[in-house]
Every structure is written in C-alpha cells, then in structure tokens.
C-alpha cells in the first residue's frame, strides 16, 4: 500500500531586507519616541548577552577564533554533565523541565546530602571535612558528642510519647467527628445528585437521557439508604418517561441505512432508555431476594407493572410479582395481590394479554407448590371479569356447528346431483372470502379490538382458571382419602393442609355459569362428597366431615345450587342430598368458629330463593332454625328467624306449628312422631311439634329479635309483607352485625366516660337515701380545661427535653473546638 504524499505548504515570503544606511528616521518618529519613552523601556531591559550567547556566527571573527570558541563551549557542557552526575535528579513527574533557547530540555537536579546520624557515611563526611580544611575530632570528643546526641534523642522521644498520650483521646474524638462529617457530606452530595439528575430527566428526557445510567450506577452504592433512594428515584423517572408503546430496536440492515438526524436522535433515546430500564430491572430482581431491600424492590416492581404493563420486559416483572403473591410477609403479599387485581380490572392498558399471562403463571405456581399456598394467591381470580356475550356466543357457535355438521351429513346422503353441490360450495366459498375481506378492511379502518382475539384470550383465561380450581378439588379429595381416620379430628391441621379450598369454592360459585357442560357431572359428584357430613354415607364422607370446616361444607352446597340454577336446562341432577347436608350442618354450626355470612347465604339460596318445598321438609327446617336461633348470637338468630318467616309465608299448611293444640299441629293424615335429632328432614316428624321457641324469643334482650319473634307468632299479614319486601337472611345478618358493632362502640365510649366521671368527681352521697351513688352529671368546660392544662404540661416537658439535648450537643461541639485550638497551638512551636 503506498503512502499518501503530504502537500508541502510554503511559508509566506519575508519582506525585503533594507540596509541600515538606507533607513531614514523622520522628525515625527523622533518626536513620538521622546513623548512616549515608557513604551521603549522594554528595549532597555533586554539581555543582549543571553541573546547573542547561542548565535553561531560572531561578527568580525576568523575561522580559527570560532573553532576555539566552540571548543570552550564543549568543555563547559562536559563540566555540567559531570556535575549533574554527582547530583540527584528529581523525578520528572514532580518537577517541570526547562527548555533552553537552543531547544534542549534539562531537568532540575538536587545535590546529594549526607545525613548526620548515618554511621555508614561517617567516613565520607570526615573526608569531606578534611578536603575543606576542617579540624579532625579526637576520640574523646566524638564520644562526648555521641552521648550528648543520645540524651537529646531520649528526651525528645519522651516528650513525643507524652504528647501522644495526652493527645490520643482528643485525636480519636476529632477523627470520629471528621469521619461523621465526611459520611454526612457524602450522603448529602449523593442525595442532591440524585435529585438533580431526576429533575433534569423529568424536565427534558430526550436531551438528558444519558443521566439514567448515572442514576443506575448511584443505586449500586454501598450505603443502604442511598440504594433505596436511588431505586425510588428511578421508579418515579421511569413511570414518567416510559412511552405508551413497546420499543423495537432497529435491525442491522436498518442501522446501515442513512436516516435523518431526528430519527438518529430518537433511536439513541430509545436504545439508552431500554438499556437503562433493563439494568434497573436486573438490579430489582437481585435486591428482591435480600431481606433488607425486599419491600422496596417489590414495591418498585409492582408499581412499574401496574403503570406500564404494555412496555418491554413485562414478563420479568410479572414473574417476580406472581412469585411473591404467596409471600409470608403480609405487606408484600397484599401489594402483589393488589397489583394483580389492578391488572385484571384495567385490561384497557394491555388489551388482556397480561391477564392471560398472569393467570397461567398463577396456575403453574399452584401446580408447582402442590396447592400449598396462601388463599390470597387464588382469591385474585375473583377480580376477573368476562364478557358473557362472547362466552355465550361461543357456546351458540359450537352448538350451531354441531347441528350444521349433522345437517350436512344428511344433505350429502340425500343429495343426488353432485354438480349442484359443487356449485353451491363454490358460491359459499366466494361469499366467505368476500366477507373475510370486508371484515379485514373494517378492522384496519376501525380501532376497535378484534373480537376473535378477545374471544380467544377469554377462552384461554377461563381454561387456566378452571384448571386451577379442578386441581384444588382433586388435591382435596386425595388428601382426605389418604388421611388416616384416627388423626382427622384437629381442624387446625385441616386448615393448613387445605388452604385453597375456600377461595376455590368462592370462585366456582361466581363463575359457575361459565363452566363447560362436560365437567358438570364430575363437579357435582365432588361437591356432594365434600358437603356430606353424615356417618351413614360411607368412610370418605365421614373423613370429609372431620377434615373440612362447616363453612367449607356449606360453601359446597352453595356452589352446587348455583351451578344447577345457571344450567337448569342442561342438567338433570337431584339436589335432595344437599338439603340433607344443610339440615345436619345447622346443628353443627358454632358462632365465632364458623362464618355467619356463609350460613346466611346458604339459607337464602337453598330455602328462600328456591321454589315451594315439601311440607314435611319445610316444617323440619322451620323447627331446626327456630332451635338454632336460641343458641346463637343476635345476628345469626335474626338470619334464622327471617328464613323461618319466609318458609311460613310460602307454606301455609306449616302455620299449624304456631297452634298450641294438645298433641301438636292439627294436620290431616298420618303424622310421624317428632324426632329432634333425625338426620333426614322428611322423617323428622316436625309437623307433630310446636314452635315453642318463639315464645322464648319474644322476650329476647334484643328488641329487633323479640319484635320479629312476636310478629311470626301472630303472623300479621301486613307486617310480614313489609319484612318480605325488604329483608333477606343475608341482609338481616349484615344489618344486625353493623348494629352490634355500633352498640359496642357506644357502650365502650359510655364506659370510658363513666370511669372518667368517677375519677373526676368521686362518689357522692345522697342525703335522702344515705347510700353511695355515682353522680352522672359533670362540667364539660372544666374537664376540657383540665385536659388542656395536662397536655400543655406534657408538651412543655417534651420541649424542655428537646432543648436540653440541643444544648448538650452545642456544648460538646464547642468543647471539641477548644480542644482542637489547643492542639493546634501546641503543634506550632514543634514545627
């Protein structure tokens, strides 16, 4: 390869030389020089000797004289080199070089010095002294001089040791203060740096996008507080500057193409943003596993996922969030669950894609942990919302396809002319193609979401949800069958082994109308086994009654009724077994241990909302609920009595239970003897009994229950109609629970006020009776004045404590400053 020739640039030409004789100086020039002598002072200070020193040509000199001159100059240079060799050359980094007028570079040198205390160089020192003509010391003088030097060294060492001992505590305190000051200054500087960078990014992100990497680097600091501040600062920045679209980096071919400056700037901005975002997420994933930063990292992850579910790397964010959905830390678990619920409820941000991914991840986690997770991890499914029109349309399409297939087979068998069928097929194909083209054009023109894609995503979501629910039911059945009978009495172990059953049953009850008909039969069989509590129904049901709680078994009955009601046309299932389970579970119900809301919901769905029941079964439930209302709290008793009222109004013949004839109610036909502990409501003989419980409930301590019991006993038509139109077991239970809470708070406030009255006023003796009674009246203004004075005293005490602390801190700082001044004064003479 040949080298390129450099172009030769000629210097500008010099002006022509004019001899000194021809130079003419005018009068004006002389006058100007005389008037401005200050300008010509520079010429008088010039060193002509140093200027002419390095001139190679000397005026009026012959060749022999010039040679002698050069020889002298060479000898001088040789002497200088010898001196430099005897000297010590200074490090070139520490001293700047000197460049002479002839262009050579010389470095500074220092002469070698011999230390006086160095014994190895004593001989050289003596020789030097001899050369200089100094008198040589005798041996006695040398010994005396050495003793004197040793004494001085010892005294100097003792003084230094004493000074070190005296200054050690002061130096330690000063060192600690300096360290604290330096740490605080570094912390404040980093904090201000984060604020400045974040403010610059929020103000103009396109111009200051390079600051993101610096903020990520600061978040990797050794200080834990700086790391947390950095993570939160980056969270605020990313939530604000992340675009509303998914970034796609350019390919290699696109990078090779020539683009405009605006496009190049946008590519740099997007690539820098994406790389910093990726580094930030990697940092969060690492810190999420450390207990010290776990809460902050999870908070940042959930906030980013909730704010930008459409952006890049959402898979890693979603994986980290779902991984902590069953965390032992309650704050982290609630934060992750609320984030997942927000994604389910706000599908407009991501179009439903994140919902499908989240449901799949939760289903995989349930499978991996063998259904041993926190109930909240499956309870988030209750926040899902499905477009029922799309689901029903899909069912109709499936049925229509099935019918069309049958009709096509029949037509093909009955068709005699194949040519006509081929023509019809070709016409249908042409029509379908044109429809597809029209639909594609309409989809491209409109911004509405694709119906088919939405339907597909809903189908995948439903399949993952029901797969999880059926897996939980299967695991429950397997764990019950594998458990020995002797160790099935403890309910606490059942709650630990079956944590996901309750949210699973709630989800099945909510989405029962969306279950595929192919799974209905197996689902009802499982629910029947889980809800069974009778010892006569087999070994498995006996285990279920001991392993499952009453609330869970009631929930199984509720799910069965909801599934049956939503698919009444397609199913032909007998629900008498579930009435039998409810009849037995009423006696096993315990307030406080079991959930009253579940019992009220079961009474509403199975007894109040259902059609008219058999008279024997209705009377059995009326009698059992009346007995239950005597043994439970006011809220449960109100729900039971409202159900009794509904049943008596629907079945007029059961009002014979309100009569007080000898031998029970007067009903025609054979009446079985009343068996209060019968497990079958049809064989209980409740029609042979009397509702004597209402007489006791009419004198109940709660006025609402006593009023309702009296109304049921008298069966006032107008009163019953009003109650029917406004109340249900669930509503009655909720209202009574709220009343109980309000009464409890009022009673607690009243007790506190009475205690304050007793302490403030003390017992008062009434003169008429002569016994000690507590006065109920007090002065509000006096009490307010005393309380205000008391709190002012407390405030003054705290303020005094704070001022004392500040005074002590100031005195300590002044004391340290005085010590520092003393130390500085001591150190000055020694120097």
pLDDT digits (tens, 9 = 90+) for 195-205: 999 899 998 88
pLDDT at 397: 58
Q: What is the pLDDT of residue 89?
A: 52
Q: Is residue 773 part of a domain?
A: no
Residue 380, class by beta-carbon neighbours within 10 Å (0-12 exposed, 13-18 middle, 19+ buried)?
buried
3-state secondary structure of 765: strand
Residue 502 lies in a domain: no
Q: Considering the chain, what percentage of its residues have pLDDT values greater than 70?
A: 67
- Stronger pLDDT, 625 or 101, i.e. the higher one: 625
Cβ-based neighbours of 310, under 8 Å, separated by 6 or more: 244, 245, 246, 349, 350, 351
Lowest mean pLDDT among 32-46, 469-483, 532-546: 532-546
Q: Which two tokens stand for residue 29?
A: 């020039």
| Chain-centroid distance, C-alpha 457 | 27
Q: What does the block give as tokens for 339? A: 């984030």
Question: Is 128 among the domain residues?
Answer: no
DSSP for 486-540? TT---HHHHHHH-TTHHHHHHHHHHSGGGS-GGGHHHHHHHHHHHH---GGG-HH
Q: Given this model, what pLDDT does residue 486 score?
A: 40
Q: Which of 277, 296, 323 is the last residue of a domain?
A: 323
Helix boundaries (H) for 604-728: 615-629, 634-650, 693-697, 703-714, 717-726
Other beta carbons within 10 Å of 579: 23
pLDDT exceeds 70 at position 421: no
pLDDT of 186 reads 84
Of the three residues 695, 715, 740, the one that is the final residue of a domain is 740
Over residues 707-715, mean pLDDT:
87
Whether 534 contacts 543, CB under 8 Å: no
Report helix angle 261-287 to 211-218, nearest 10.
10
Q: What is the pLDDT of residue 95?
A: 62
Residue 625 · residue 643 · CB < 8 Å: yes
Give how many domains the chain has, as a whole number: 2
- Give the relative orientation of helices 224-241 and 261-287 as an angle to the nearest 10 degrees: 140
Cα distances (Å, whole numbers) of residue 60 to 17, 63, 69: 21, 10, 14
Confidence of residue 305 (pLDDT cuts 50, 70, 90): very high
Asked if residue 683 belongs to a domain, the reply is yes
Whether residue 100 has pLDDT greater than 80: no
**CA–CA separation, 466 vs 296, rounded Å?**
34
Judge whether 677 and 684 are in contact, CB under 8 Å: no
- Considering only 84-93, 379-388, 575-584, which range has the smallest mean pLDDT? 84-93
pLDDT reading at 821 higher than 60: yes
Instruction: Name the DSSP class of 98.
Output: E
Q: How confident is the model at residue 61 (pLDDT cuts 50, 70, 90)?
A: low
Q: Is residue 560 part of a domain?
A: no
Q: Which of 731, 715, 708 is nearest to 625 (CA)?
A: 708
What is the per-residue pLDDT for 679?
A: 82
For residue 12, tell me if it sits in a domain. Answer: no
Per the DSSP assignment, residues forming a β-bridge with 591 are: 594
Identify the weakest region by mean pLDDT among 90-94, 214-218, 229-233, 718-722. Answer: 718-722
| pLDDT above 80: residue 319 | yes
Are 353 and 317 within 8 A, CB to CB?
no
Beta-carbon contacts of 778 under 8 Å, excluding residues fewer than 6 positions away, are 757, 760, 761
In this prediction, residue 576 carries a pLDDT of: 85
Q: Lowest mean pLDDT: which of 9-13, 46-50, 600-604, 807-811?
A: 9-13
* In the predicted structure, residue 374 carries a pLDDT above the cut 80: yes
Number of residues in the chain = 831
Instruction: Give how far the C-alpha of residue 341 lies from the chain's centroid of Cα atoms, to the nearest Å.
Output: 14
Q: What span, in angstroms and rounded, lies between the C-alpha atoms of 343 and 339?
A: 6
Show contacts of 702-710: CB within 8 Å, 24+ apart.
Answer: 702/634, 704/634, 704/638, 704/736, 704/739, 705/629, 705/634, 705/637, 705/638, 705/641, 708/638, 708/641, 708/642, 708/645, 709/641
DSSP state of 368: H
Greater confidence (370 vs 144) lies with 370
DSSP 3-state assignment of 589? coil
pLDDT digit string, tens, across residues 752-790? 555 555 554 544 333 333 333 333 344 667 777 777 777
C-beta separation of 333 from 376 below 8 A:
yes
What are φ and ψ of residue 84, in 5° steps?
A: -65, -35
- Per-residue confidence (pLDDT) for residue 468, from 0 to 100: 93
Give burial (CB, 10 Å; 0-12/13-18/19+) of 270.
middle
In a domain, 92, yes or no: no
**Comparison of pLDDT for 37 and 224, the residue scoring more:** 224
Residue 822, token pair as written in the block: 């003393």
> Residue 536: is its pLDDT beyond 50?
no
Q: Which residue has the higher pLDDT, 453 or 605?
A: 605
How sure is the predictor about 15, in pLDDT bands with cuts at 50, 70 and 90?
low
Distance of alpha carbon 401 from alpha carbon 395, whole angstroms = 10
Helical (H) or strand (E) element with 772: strand 772-773
Task: Output the CA torsion 526→531→535→536 (10° steps).
Answer: -60
Distance CA 365, CA 70 (A): 96
Mean pLDDT, residues 691-697 taken together:
90
Residue 382 three-state SS: helix
pLDDT band at 37 (very low <50, low <70, confident <90, very high): confident
The b-or-e profile of 41-57 (16+ CB within 10 A means b, else e) is: eeeeeeeeeeeeeeeee
Record the pTM. Answer: 0.62
**What average pLDDT score do residues 549-567 get?**
86
Which residue would you say has higher pLDDT here, 548 or 132? 548
Q: 654 falls in which pLDDT band (50, 70, 90)? A: confident
d(CA 525, CA 503): 19
For residues 300-315, give the mean pLDDT: 91
| Burial zone of 705 (CB within 10 Å; 0-12 exposed, 13-18 middle, 19+ buried) | buried
- Choose one of 285, 304, 323: the last residue of a domain: 323
- The answer as to whether 387 is a domain residue is no
pLDDT tens digits, residue range 337-358?
A: 999 999 998 887 887 889 999 9
More confident residue, 226 or 94: 226
What is the C-alpha end-to-end distance of the chain, expressed in Å?
68
| CB 378, CB 468: distance < 8 Å | yes
3-class DSSP state for residue 813?
A: helix
Of 180-194, 286-300, 681-695, the one with minimum mean pLDDT is: 180-194
Q: Within a 10 A sphere around the Cβ of 748, how many other Cβ atoms?
A: 10
Alpha-carbon distance of 26 to 491, in angstroms, equals: 126
Copy the structure tokens of residue 129. 């002294």
Mean pLDDT of all residues in 796-809? 84
Q: What local confidence, expressed as pLDDT, does residue 722 receive? A: 40
Domain extent at residue 711:
574-740
Query: Comparing C-alpha atoms, which of 511, 468, 231, 509 is closest to residue 370?
Result: 468
User: In this model, does residue 1 exceed pLDDT 60?
Assistant: no
CA distances from 103 to 67, 81, 99, 100 (A): 22, 17, 6, 5
Of 445 and 601, the structure prediction assigns the larger pLDDT to 601
- Provide the token pair at 142: 């040398």
Kindly report the average pLDDT of the chain as a whole number: 75
Distance CA 113, CA 236 (A): 65
pLDDT band for 572, please (50, 70, 90 cuts): low
């Amino acid at each position: 390869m040949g080298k390129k020739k450099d172009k030769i640039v000629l210097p500008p030409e010099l002006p022509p030389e004019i001899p000194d004789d021809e130079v003419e100086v005018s009068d004006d020039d002389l006058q100007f020089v005389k008037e401005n002598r200050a300008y010509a002072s520079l010429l008088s200070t010039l060193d002509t000797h140093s200027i002419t020193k390095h001139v190679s040509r000397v005026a009026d000199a012959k060749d022999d004289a010039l040679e002698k001159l050069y020889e002298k100059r060479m000898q001088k240079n040789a002497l200088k080199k010898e001196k430099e060799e005897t000297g010590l050359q200074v490090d070139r980094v520490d001293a700047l070089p000197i460049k002479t007028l002839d262009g050579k570079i010389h470095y500074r040198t220092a002469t070698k010095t011999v230390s006086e205390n160095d014994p190895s160089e004593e001989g050289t020192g003596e020789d030097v002294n001899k050369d200089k003509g100094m008198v040589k010391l005798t041996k006695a003088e040398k010994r005396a001089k050495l003793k004197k030097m040793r004494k001085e060294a010892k005294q100097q060492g003792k003084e230094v040791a004493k000074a070190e001992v005296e200054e050690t505590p002061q130096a330690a305190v000063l060192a600690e203060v300096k360290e604290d000051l330096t740490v605080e200054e570094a912390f404040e500087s980093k904090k201000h740096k984060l604020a400045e960078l974040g403010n610059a990014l929020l103000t103009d992100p396109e111009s200051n996008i390079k600051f993101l990497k610096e903020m990520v680097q600061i978040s990797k600091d050794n200080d834990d507080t700086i790391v947390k501040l950095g993570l939160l600062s980056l969270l605020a920045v990313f939530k604000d500057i992340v675009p509303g679209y998914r970034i796609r980096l350019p390919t290699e071919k696109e990078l090779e193409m020539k683009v405009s400056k605006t496009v190049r700037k946008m590519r740099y901005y997007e690539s820098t943003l994406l790389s910093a975002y990726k580094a930030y997420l990697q940092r969060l994933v690492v810190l999420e596993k450390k207990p010290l930063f776990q809460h902050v990292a999870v908070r940042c992850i959930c906030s980013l996922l909730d704010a930008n579910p459409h952006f890049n790397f959402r898979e890693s964010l979603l994986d980290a969030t779902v991984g902590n959905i069953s965390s032992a830390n309650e704050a982290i678990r609630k934060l992750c669950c609320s984030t997942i619920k927000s994604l389910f409820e706000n599908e407009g941000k991501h179009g439903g894609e994140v919902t499908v991914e989240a449901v799949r991840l939760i289903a995989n986690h349930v499978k991996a942990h063998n259904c041993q997770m926190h109930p909240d991890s499956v309870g988030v499914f209750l926040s899902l919302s499905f477009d029922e029109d799309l689901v029903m349309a899909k069912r109709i399409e499936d049925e229509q396809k099935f019918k069309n297939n049958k009709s096509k087979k029949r037509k093909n068998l009955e068709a005699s002319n194949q040519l006509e069928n081929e023509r019809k097929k070709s016409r249908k194909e042409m029509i379908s193609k044109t429809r597809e083209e029209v639909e594609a054009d309409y989809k491209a023109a409109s911004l509405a979401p694709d119906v088919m894609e939405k339907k597909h995503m809903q189908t995948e979501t439903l399949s993952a949800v029901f797969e999880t629910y059926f897996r939980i039911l299967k695991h429950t059945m397997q764990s019950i069958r594998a458990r020995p009978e002797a160790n099935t009495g403890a309910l606490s172990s059942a709650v630990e082994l079956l944590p996901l059953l309750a949210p699973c049953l709630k989800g099945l009850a909510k989405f029962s109308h969306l279950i595929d008909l192919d799974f209905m039969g197996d689902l009802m069989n499982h629910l029947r086994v889980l809800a069974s509590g009778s010892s006569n129904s087999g070994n498995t049901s006996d285990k279920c009654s001991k392993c499952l709680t009453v609330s869970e078994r009631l929930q199984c009955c509720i799910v069965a009724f909801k599934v049956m009601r939503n698919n009444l046309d397609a199913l032909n299932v007998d629900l008498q077994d579930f009435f039998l389970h409810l009849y037995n579970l009423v006696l096993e119900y315990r307030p406080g241990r079991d959930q009253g809301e579940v019992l009220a919901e079961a009474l509403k769905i199975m007894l109040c909302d259902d059609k008219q029941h058999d008279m024997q079964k209705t009377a059995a439930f009326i009698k059992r609920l009346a007995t239950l209302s005597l043994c439970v709290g006011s809220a449960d008793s109100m729900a039971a009595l409202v159900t009794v009222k509904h049943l008596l109004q629907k079945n007029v013949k059961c009002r014979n239970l309100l009569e007080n004839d000898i031998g029970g109610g007067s009903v025609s036909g054979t009446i079985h003897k009343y068996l209060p502990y019968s497990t079958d409501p049809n064989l209980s003989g409740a029609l042979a009994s009397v509702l004597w419980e209402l007489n006791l409930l009419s004198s109940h301590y709660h006025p609402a229950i006593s009023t309702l019991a009296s109304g049921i006993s008298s069966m006032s038509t107008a009163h019953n109609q009003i109650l029917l139109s406004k109340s249900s077991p669930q509503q009655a239970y909720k209202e009574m629970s709220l009343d109980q809470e309000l009464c409890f708070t009022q009673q607690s406030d009243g007790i506190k006020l009475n205690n304050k009255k007793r302490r403030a006023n003390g017992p008062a003796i009434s003169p008429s009776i002569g016994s000690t009674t507590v006065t109920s009246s007090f002065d509000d203004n006096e009490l307010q004045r005393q309380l205000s004075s008391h709190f002012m005293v407390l405030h003054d005490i705290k303020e005094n404590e704070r001022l004392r602390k500040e005074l002590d801190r100031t005195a300590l700082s002044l004391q340290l400053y005085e010590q520092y001044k003393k130390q500085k004064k001591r150190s000055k003479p020694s120097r």
